[in-house]
Each structure stands twice: as C-alpha cells, then as structure tokens.
Amino acid sequence: MDPQLARRQAAYERENDGQVPHLLAHLSEAQLYGRACIYCGDESEPKRPVEASSVLSSELFECVDTGACFERNARTQVPE
C-alpha cells in the first residue's frame, strides 16, 4: 500500500477503534476500494462482501470460492 494511503487507513482504524477490523498493511489500493479480494487480490473471480471496511470503501470483498482463494493467496505470498 502506498505510504500515504497506509497512514490514512491507520488513522481510519484508530478513529473507528473496535468497529472496523485492522487490515493487513500490504493490501493494495484495489483491495481497499473493494475491487479485489482482500485475501488473494484477485479481481476477476466472483466475490462476496466481508464484514470489513476501509478508508476507501464501506464494503470489502472476498472470493466466493475460498479453496481457490486460499491457493492463490499461498502462491502470491511474498516471502519475508
């Protein structure tokens, strides 16, 4: 995530403490906008809303196919 956006997201989480989940700092702008799955980053597979919001969108999404999502997520994990 872009550092400025990361700061805005962190401030948003502080302002809404206890009401919004803390999101992983490596989420992309597409994920924060609700265009891409917040777990694997996919933008083309069918999505369903998750109980989460970001500074950019009140609705975030995950893949309907959680098995495929998990596999994509495992593949796209950047080694520390």
Residues in contact with Zn ion by the rule CB under 5 A: 37, 39-40, 42, 63, 69
Compare residues 20 and 69 and give the one whose CB is closer to Zn ion. 69
Residue 41 burial class via C-beta count within 10 angstroms: exposed 0-12, middle 13-18, buried 19 and up: middle
In the block, residue with structure tokens 């369903």:
48
Q: What's the min distance (Å) between Cβ of 42 and Zn ion?
A: 5
End-to-end CA distance of the chain: 16
Compare residues 1 and 63 and give the one whose CB is closer to Zn ion. 63
Q: What's the min distance (Å) between Cβ of 38 and Zn ion?
A: 8
Compare residues 10 and 57 and give the one whose CB is closer to Zn ion. 57
CA distances from 18 to 22, 23, 74 (A): 9, 13, 29
Identify residue 30 by its one-letter amino acid code. A
Q: What's the min distance (Å) between Cβ of 15 and Zn ion?
A: 27
